[in-house]
Amino acid sequence: MWGKKSLNKIKVGDLVYVPSDVAIFNRASVLRLPKPFNLLVTDYKDNMYEVLFEDDRWLVRPEDTYPME
């Protein structure tokens, strides 16, 4: 389902697997995911992946993500 982590492997437009209980961030809040999700990477900024979650853009730490294969 997912492979080894690699910053070079994940790029904008890719899906990443994010396990449950991982914190994702936006300007106003922090959310802990209640279950695992496959999220779309929309950007890479401030050493974080920007992902789409419930129609909003959130930031997630790269070490909390796994590339989908």
Which segments of the chain are extended strands (E)?
15-18, 23-25, 30-32, 37-45, 48-53, 56-60, 66-67
State the Cα torsion 34-37-40-44 to the nearest 10°: 60
Domain boundaries, the chain: 15-67
Q: CA nearest 39: which of 21, 59, 27?
A: 59
Domain 15-67 adopts which CATH fold?
A: SH3 type barrels. (2.30.30)
pLDDT (0 to 100) of residue 43: 97
Measured between alpha carbons, how far is 60 from 62 in angstroms, rounded to an integer? Answer: 6
Q: Residue 69: pLDDT above 90? A: no
Confidence of residue 9 (pLDDT cuts 50, 70, 90): confident
pTM of the shown model: 0.85
Encoded tokens for 37: 């999700």
pLDDT in tens, 21-67: 999 999 899 999 999 999 999 999 889 999 999 999 999 999 999 99
